[in-house]
Every structure is written in structure tokens, then in C-alpha cells.
Amino acid sequence: MDILQIKNLNLGFVGENGFNQALFNVNFTLKQGEMHALVGESGCGKSITAMSILKLLPKNSQITSGEIIFDNKDLIKLSPKEFVHIRGEKIALIPQDPMTSLNPLFTIGDQLLEVLSIHQGIKGKEAEKKAIEALDTVRIPSAKSRLKSYPHEFSGGMKQRAIIAMALCCEAEILIADEPTTALDVTIQAQIMNLLNTIKKESNTSIILITHDLGVVYENADRISVMYAGRIVEEAPSQDFFKNTNHPYSKALLNSIPSSDKSKLLTIAGQPPTIMQNIPGCRFNPRCNFAMDICKSKIPELSEISPCHFSACFLNNNLY
């Protein structure tokens, strides 16, 4: 069952030089109990797509068209007052940087209790009990005494767990995990991803995983959408994606992963375009080893190349 649908989302930013488009006809579907990964280089549009769902966009942003459907409502059309009951309560964010996402002036308990008061209307002993349960769920030891700790007394991994606990306090139906393993060592990364998988399985929670780490995606995601320069260029179930990668950009990302059987590290030539660069045709064509004349003049549509596997490329699998 689909729990969230983004339909033909177009978004840009108004700057000194006018309007610059950042997202181009983005279509994205999240299913109940699924971990769907948004993958791509920095600046490709992953985070801004997720922030559109939560309406946490810069003041100079502008959604020019599209729909974001959740609970039979178009989130784009909801007033700020109506959206209070969505953000945090129904759709929760695990932000990118655990080191700076907690207020250093308040204890972990104060911040958990504030979330419970605002979104659940729970206070006092009942709120404290639920906060302790949330810390227990994310496996923070001595949860009751840790309510009195300040963020600087937590390690990076514990800070990330505390942020996840805040999302769990609201029993959100969707978690948006924006680079949840950034700045954490490999062991802690694995623990955080195991925790998210446990939450997904036990609570049937849907998770949007934003990452550039294809290793994390390979081990955890159910479905993958690859973004490049504001467009989704490939989407497939995880197993099919890694077995039958289609788009040249997706292939280049996979080839750039370090491994022991490679004699040298492969890279993608050039840099992703900025939103101010108007590239005709496929926006990946200046960096693509397989670009043809048509790629420089026409934009390829995202089309189904096999069951549930979509790619936006003029090439067929057997041509490269």
C-alpha cells in the first residue's frame, strides 16, 4: 500500500539572477513498511525533495507545480496550522548532523518531554515514562538517568539514537532519515542502520533513507531511486538495481565504490551541474561516456525497462 506519493514535483529558488529550477518533475512513491533510498551525489536534490515533504524549505524556494499526497491530502496545500499535526507527529525527520541537531542548553529529557507535550499532549509522569521507553527502544543504557544528561555528555552515536527516540515518541508513520550515518564510525553506522531496520519491521514504519553511501543502501534498502541534477534517473527494487543497473550515472556510481578487487579507484569525470547551469537534453550528458546526439537535445523520460524497474536513458541495456 502506498503511504506517500510525490507527483510531478517542480521546485526552484528565486535569486538575484531570477528563478533557478532545482527539481524537475520528481515522481516518488513510498510504500507502507518500506525503506526507500534516495541516492546521488551532493547537490542532486535528495534532501530538498525530502524537505519539500516536511515543508521545511528556504524562504526563497518556490514549488511551481506538483502534489505531495499523504493521508489523502495534498501536503503542499495545507495551511501552517493544519501542517502542525503532520510534521513530527505523522512524518518525522532524523536530521543529517547528530552533533548539532540537539539543543546544547537543555537536557535530553527536556527535549524529549517537549516533543511529547507538543505532538502528543502528554505531560508529567506519563511523558517521562514514554521518554524512558523511547530511550530504551533505541538501546541507550540507563535510560532513566540519561534523561538528565546534556547532549555534550553523549557520544555521536548516542546523539543519533536520541534523535531517533524523539521521532519514536510521536509514533510517526514515516521517518525521513537524512544521511543518518554521517560522521559516525563504521561500527556505529551499522548499529544505527540495524536500529532503523528493527523499527521498520516491528512498527511497520516507512522510511525514506537519504544517502550517497551505496554500501548502506545495498544492505538495507528495499527500493532505490537515483537522483541526478534534480531528476530521478533510475528507480528499482534494491536487488534488481544492483543486479541489472541500467542508467550510465547509476553504473558510474557503482563503479566508483572502492573495493579490494579494483586496481585503481574509478571516478566520474567532471562535476554535477549547479541549478544555475542550463544544460539542454539529458543533464548527465556532459559527463556520460555513452552520450549520443539525441542526449544533447532531448530529455529522456523515466520509462519501465522491466517489471518495477524504471530508467531515464536513450540507451538499452545491451548497448553498453
The whole-number pLDDT of residue 320 equals 41
The whole-number pLDDT of residue 293 equals 93
Which grid coordinates belong to 155? 557520544
pLDDT, tens digit (0-9, with 9 covering 90-100), for 248-277: 999 999 988 776 666 677 788 888 998 889
pLDDT, tens digit (0-9, with 9 covering 90-100), for 104-153: 999 999 999 998 888 888 888 999 999 998 898 888 989 899 999 999 99
CATH class belonging to 2-90+173-319? alpha beta
The whole-number pLDDT of residue 317 equals 46
CA distance linking residue 129 with residue 163, whole number of Å: 17
Average confidence (pLDDT) over 160-165: 88
Average confidence (pLDDT) over 224-241: 96
pLDDT, tens digit (0-9, with 9 covering 90-100), for 15-69: 888 999 999 999 999 999 999 999 999 889 999 999 999 999 999 999 999 999 9
The side-by-side arrangement of strands in the sheet containing 231-237 is 91-94, 174-178, 206-211, 35-39, 223-228, 231-237, 309-311, 303-306
Cα separations in angstroms, 50 against 57, 135, 246, 277: 10, 26, 25, 23
Is the Cα torsion angle 220, 221, 227, 230 positive or negative in sign?
negative
The whole-number pLDDT of residue 318 equals 43
* The CA-based dihedral angle spanning residues 132, 138, 140, 145, taken in that order and rounded to the nearest 10 degrees: -10
Which grid coordinates belong to 304? 519501465
Burial-class residue 56 by CB neighbours within 10 Å (0-12, 13-18, 19+).
middle
Quote the percentage of the chain above a pLDDT of 70: 96
- Domain residue limits, the chain: 2-90+173-319, 103-171
